[in-house]
Chains A and B, each alone.
Chain A
Amino acid sequence: MDVGQMRRQWVEYTKSLFMEGFLDSQFEQLQQLQDESNPDFVVEVVSLFFEDSERLLNDLTRALDQPSVDFKLVDSYVHQLKGSSSSIGASRVKNACIAFRNFCEEQNVEGCRRCLQQVKQENLLVKNKLETLFRMEQQIVAAGGSIPNMEQIGF
């Protein structure tokens, strides 16, 4: 595959991530913030997010496993996860957190547990998608190309 084909593939893949709702415009913000002084900005922020989300998902699993569930605590974890997912544009994770908070408010344990599974799934999905995207970026750069600018291609 030549660099041109790799770049086109990257564009198509990125578009699909937006269209399928995995990412929203906040992710574009991150991409636009990346520059020569900070060429790995997106990867760095996204990595921080997944470290954070893994920790929070473990905390949530533990909290929902307790004989008497502390919903205030559960809600505070979900609030944090909703915030950071929103900040990187991980839209489906964010939306799953919004639903989760509703069940916290209702103090519905089963509902919360279902939501936790949902959030875990969405987190894993977007993680895989982004890993694929970043791999494509590495290949483009290794082949001497540059990562396309979504703004420039009018997306």
Chain B
Amino acid sequence: MEAGFAASSSSKGFMDTGEQPHVLAVDDSLVDRKLIEKLLKNSSCKVTTAENGPRALEVLGLGDHQRNTLDANVSKVNMIITDYCMPGMSGYELLKKIKESSILREVPVVIMSSENVPTRINKCLEEGAQMFMLKPLNQSDIKRLRCQLMNCRS
């Protein structure tokens, strides 16, 4: 890894120097959680998974019973990747909550969906999603993701 990828001062940076990026993956499907976890681990990421929006918010320290301050015990997350279609809180609603948070709004959020719906994609991008990815994900999708988030020059 080039030293040039050290986190720039203007952003939290997807990749802190020398550390594995910590990704929070949110999906209600157990099969998909297992798959995304392996894909990310194979790309040297530390992974936490959550099966729904509320649980993801807890991991991020934004849970209902947590105060809206960065809990020292909450492991710093460098990126969130979430499914769009989830029962209860959708990926879009989760995205909005994250962007509403003064602490977490800088964390890149990627939305995944099995359906290619342009209005859905635009809605998410407008709300601040970094990327929209079509499922099922594969290794080259994850490479592309890392590249984009680290402003790779390929």
**A-side interface residues toward B, CB under 8 Å?**
26, 29-30, 32-33, 35, 38, 41, 44-45, 48-49, 52, 76, 79-80, 82-84, 86-89
Given A29-B139, A32-B139: A87 in contact with B31 (beta carbons within 8 A): yes
Kindly state whether residue B144 has any CB partner on chain A within 8 Å. no
Q: Could you tell me if B114 and A88 are in contact, using CB atoms closer than 8 angstroms?
A: no
Residues of B within 8 A of A80 (CB): 29
Interface size class of B (residues with CB under 8 A): 10 to 19
**Which residue among A41, A44, A45 has the maximum number of chain B CB atoms within 10 Å of its CB?**
A45
Kindly state whether residue B34 has any CB partner on chain A within 8 Å. yes
Q: Measured between alpha carbons, how far is A146 from B53 in the docked complex, in Å?
A: 41
The listed residue (B30, B39, B114, B136) touching A48 by CB distance below 8 A is B30
Kindly state whether residue B38 has any CB partner on chain A within 8 Å. yes
Encoded as 1 (CB less than 8 Å from any A CB) or 0, chain B from 101 to 139 comes to 000000000000010000000000000000000011011
Residues of A within 8 A of B87 (CB): 76
* Min C-beta distance of B60 to chain A, whole Å: 24
Q: Could you tell me if B32 and A84 are in contact, using CB atoms closer than 8 angstroms?
A: yes
Q: Measured between alpha carbons, how far is A84 from B85 in the docked complex, in Å?
A: 13
Chain A: interface secondary structure?
helix
Q: Could you tell me if A33 and B31 are in contact, using CB atoms closer than 8 angstroms?
A: no
Q: Could you tell me if A29 and B114 are in contact, using CB atoms closer than 8 angstroms?
A: no
Q: Could you tell me if A33 and B42 are in contact, using CB atoms closer than 8 angstroms?
A: yes
Residues of A within 8 A of B35 (CB): 30, 33, 45, 87-88
Identify the 7 closest CB pairs spanning chains A and B, nearest first: A84-B31, A87-B136, A29-B138, A33-B38, A83-B114, A26-B136, A48-B31
Q: Could you tell me if B31 and A88 are in contact, using CB atoms closer than 8 angstroms?
A: yes
Q: Could you tell me if A52 and B136 are in contact, using CB atoms closer than 8 angstroms?
A: no
Q: Measured between alpha carbons, how far is A89 from B87 in the docked complex, in Å?
A: 24
Q: Could you tell me if B138 and A87 are in contact, using CB atoms closer than 8 angstroms?
A: no
**Which residue among B30, B31, B38, B42 has the maximum number of chain A CB atoms within 10 Å of its CB?**
B31
Identify the closest chain A residue to B30 (Cβ).
A48
* Min C-beta distance of A26 to chain B, whole Å: 5
Q: Could you tell me if A87 and B38 are in contact, using CB atoms closer than 8 angstroms?
A: no
**Which residue among B29, B114, B136 has the maximum number of chain A CB atoms within 10 Å of its CB?**
B136
